[in-house]
Amino acid sequence: MRFLGVLAILGATALADQASAADAPPVFTPTLGTAWVGIGVGALLPVPGSPSPTVQDPAHRYIPNGTPGQQPTQRISDLSNPNIKQWAKDLMKKDNDEVLAGKFAFTARSSCQPGGVPGFDVLLGGALFILQSRSEVTMIFSGNNESRHIRLDVPHSANPKPSWYGESVGHYEGGDTLVIDTIGQTDRTFADNYRTPHTTQMHVIERWKLSADGNSVDVTVDVDDPGAFSMPYRGLQRWRRVRVPLTEIACSENNDHDFVGFKVSIPKASKPDF
């Protein structure tokens, strides 16, 4: 468990760094057992006054797994959203039709693949751990140990090479908020769990605001992708604080089989992530 030992050292160092700062930023992880669990059903909530993110088609009710006494259903995207460009709707309709015909609905979590941003904010089946230091914030989702690295108080690179999580830079505001600006993402991910496609032009700004009592975080997400959406849109995700240890969870190694018609294969890394 050398990995977990390193995390413990990093967490202790981060707390020491922040305790010595005169204008300390919000502390998202006051103890090594502090984590965050998303509130809701793995989708960004619409925000009044903004174009809506993709939501469930009202003609097909979504029932989450584990709902007492009810058979779970799949996510079917609402194609009436006027903000989604036609080429994207065409792809989404094809996917909707396949899911309605019995295909298992793809999500990044069920496929053991990176979620991208803002897909990372709505990953399901795990808890989020946030490690803070003076120069970087690292976010680790326990479901399949997905990691994001946010460099603090630095500008973006001139031309970042597209990658799964792009290039994220951040800064603190107002003593309670972490602002994250992400560009340079590959178009191989989806914008959400409704399988909404995007382009490499996507620009995402997240504002992670810690509540006064430290028990919840509200994340407002601004998405701007002129290649896929007519206008920028805003969504909201909420997290609640829990106490759980960070453990190493195998994802692909436990899923290299045909699961309800959806085969998950083990990814092969050609080089270290960092």
Structural domains counted in the chain: 1
Let me know if residue 269 belongs to a domain: no
What pLDDT does 218 receive? Answer: 97
Residue 76 domain-assigned (yes or no): yes
* CB atoms inside a 10 Å sphere around CB 2: 6
pLDDT (0 to 100) of residue 23: 67
Phi-psi region of 244 (alpha: psi -120 to 50; beta: other; left: phi over 0): beta
**Domain membership flag for residue 272:** no
Secondary element (H or E) of residue 6: helix 2-19
Q: pLDDT under 70 in the chain at which residues?
A: 1-23, 251-269, 273-274
Quick check: is 263 in a domain?
Answer: no
Residue 86 covered by a domain: yes
Q: Which helix (H) or strand (E) holds 87?
A: helix 86-100
Give the span between the Cα atoms of 230 and 164, in whole angstroms.
23
Q: Locate 49 and state its tokens.
A: 């006054």
229 has which bridge partners? 84
Q: Which domain holds residue 38?
A: 2-257
| 221 found inside a domain | yes
Q: 28, exposed or middle or buried, with CB in 10 Å at 0-12, 13-18, 19+?
A: buried
Q: How many CA atoms lie within 13 A of 241 on its CB side?
A: 18
Q: CATH number of the domain at 250, please.
A: 2.40.128.20
Would residue 271 count as lying in a domain? no
Q: What is the pTM of this model?
A: 0.84
- What is the structure's pLDDT at 46? 96
In a domain, 39, yes or no: yes
Separation CA 203–CA 200 (nearest Å) = 9
